[in-house]
Amino acid sequence: GELVVFMPESNSPQLYVSKAYRKMVRDRGVDRGARQFLRNNIRSAQWLISAIEQRRETVLRVVVEVFKVQRDFLDHGREALKPLPMADVAEKVGVHVATVSRAVAGKYVDTPRGIFPLRMFFSGGTTTAEGDDVSWDAVKARLKEIVDGEDKSKPLNDDQLAEELKKHGIDIARRTIAKYRGLLDIPPARKRRQY
């Protein structure tokens, strides 16, 4: 039941400055200009190595904070996603929002539920009638679940879908239902009817 977050070491190569170059910097027999050139480039390389390690640490800290909030996702799936603004995670990690955005761009997380883009775990949301926070992705997942389980000979229109969501404590407007149906490629009721 304990949450463990880690980054596999095998995915990133071990970066270091060659011993031969470090030795040349100290060797008085090497031309002074060459030593200065090496010294400058070794300093740049060390800065780059440090920056890469710092980014790696930032990504790890961000993922830990994300799953402190999104823990229920691991047990219940998309329906359990909570609203999570990047600004909240940035504040907890102690970095700028833009740093979090860059850190998660193009990154994926391997969970027991599958592999997902890290950006998926950040979203806005709403509050249910019971006072629980739910993300817009969770609302969409619940909407899809309702449509998948409906009587196909009498599919639910947008007003009825809104009423069904309200039964689950999610109160959103009919026009929002229409928007999410479009995003999920769910046709209107008249086109979902099966005879």
- Could you report the per-residue pLDDT of 51-109, keeping only the tens digit for each? 988 888 999 999 999 999 899 888 888 888 888 888 899 999 999 999 999 988 999 99
| HSE-up (13 A, CA, CB side) for residue 142 | 24
pLDDT at position 11 over 70: no
Tokens representing 47? 């800065």
For residue 129, the number of C-alpha atoms closer than 13 Å in the C-beta half-sphere is 8
> What is residue 14's predicted lDDT score, i.e. its pLDDT?
83
Report whether 166 contacts 156 (CB < 8 A). Answer: no
- Give the torsion through C-alpha atoms of 50, 56, 60, 61, to 10 deg: 40
Token pair of 124, please?
Answer: 């806005």
pTM of the full structure = 0.65
| Phi/psi of residue 17, nearest 5 degrees | -95, 135
> What pLDDT shows up at residue 65?
93
Q: Tell me the two tokens of residue 161.
A: 């879908």
Could you report the per-residue pLDDT of 150-188, keeping only the tens digit for each? 998 999 999 999 999 988 888 888 898 899 899 899 999
Contact 192, 155 (CB under 8 A): yes
Residue 123 is given by DSSP the state B
Residue 10: its pLDDT value, please?
Answer: 61
**Residue 38's pLDDT is what?**
93
